[in-house]
Amino acid sequence: MRRLPSHHEAIPSLRSKHAAVQAGFGGEQELDKIFESYSFTMKHGIFHDLSLASSTYFQVDTLFITPWYAVLFEVKNIAGELTVTENPPQLIRVLDSGQVNGFKSPIAQLESNCELFHDWLYSRNLTLQVYGSVVLAYARQRIEVFDTNIPILFPSAVPTFIRKLPTTSPMLDDVTFADLLSQLGSSHRDFIPSPICETYSIPRSDIRTGVICPGCGFIGMERHSRSWHCKACGLAEREAHKQAIRDWFLLFGGKMSNKDCREFLQIERQQTANRILRGMGLHSEGANRNRTYSMQFLSERKKRT
């Protein structure tokens, strides 16, 4: 959004996506805290931010798995008055200010994830009961939901919910269960975001290039003596290019050449671009003039069992 003119036609959809991402963010940590502070006596594994491939890729916020069953948790952190409708499947949020936003239905999302996870197990010749629950991160959330058998819980209710799940169904033996945990660990895929310009059909030429001042937001910091200078607020910052390089990969994806780097950072000298690119810890391929760089986006949270 910072790199588009304020009247750009993609701004409204980017804004609502931004609100949706922020709504999920922060909530997951609330559930993590519960899992950290509670000790379950049964054999189990807990995975966060799993990205798995079945007939399609899918992401699971939190997976709790035992030899008897698996529970998928979809965590939401959305303030305001919430209504989940079944048809069409959506989540509508009304803020005290009267502002209304629409989000994907967490229930429809969870149902689809449960099916995909069931298929993922089935393709490995495994059968487990798969349950799902939507977790509302904060107790101040008010929600109205259509009649569904998917439980909507606050984090503190999660341990009790788990303890009440039946452990009578056929269970996996120790070897199979250990193997399943290691498969889940290794099939975890690093998050590869699809390029923003592609997702929102934004022409490359609409994107404003230049290094953004971390102090005042001015675009087009100038580089002198290995530092970036803002002519709007006077700030000098040695590493201001790092965000710009990240922006480039998030916006366009793929591989960055020395020329791409120079154009985006608005610098002239190849050596400067080389030094900057080498200092970014990027993955590089090719030699000399043909060298390109790519960025790996690693999930910040690691698997815990």
| Residues lying near Zn ion in the complex (CB under 5 A) | 213, 215-216, 218, 230, 232-233, 235
Smallest distance, Zn ion to C-beta of residue 215, A: 4
Smallest distance, Zn ion to C-beta of residue 230, A: 3
**d(Cα 113, Cα 91) in Å, to the nearest integer?**
17
- Identify which of residues 231 and 246 has a Cβ nearer to Zn ion in the complex: 231
Please tell me the chain's helix, strand, coil percentages from 3-state DSSP, rounded to the nearest 5. 35, 25, 40
User: How far is C-alpha 189 from the geometric centre of its chain's CA atoms?
Assistant: 12
- Identify which of residues 42 and 233 has a Cβ nearer to Zn ion in the complex: 233
Smallest distance, Zn ion to C-beta of residue 219, A: 10
Name the phi and psi angles at 35, rounded to 5.
-65, -35
Smallest distance, Zn ion to C-beta of residue 236, A: 10
User: What single-letter amino acid sits at 165?
Assistant: L
- Identify which of residues 240 and 245 has a Cβ nearer to Zn ion in the complex: 240
Smallest distance, Zn ion to C-beta of residue 211, A: 10
- What single DSSP character describes residue 290? G
- Identify which of residues 108 and 230 has a Cβ nearer to Zn ion in the complex: 230
Smallest distance, Zn ion to C-beta of residue 225, A: 18
Give the strand pairing for 45-53 and 100-104: unpaired
- What single DSSP character describes residue 268? -
Which 3 state secondary structure label does DSSP give 296? coil
- Identify which of residues 198 and 222 has a Cβ nearer to Zn ion in the complex: 222
- Identify which of residues 102 and 210 has a Cβ nearer to Zn ion in the complex: 210
Which 3 state secondary structure label does DSSP give 40? coil
Looking from the CA of 181 toward its CB, the CA atoms found within 13 Å total 18
Structure tokens at 255: 């591989």
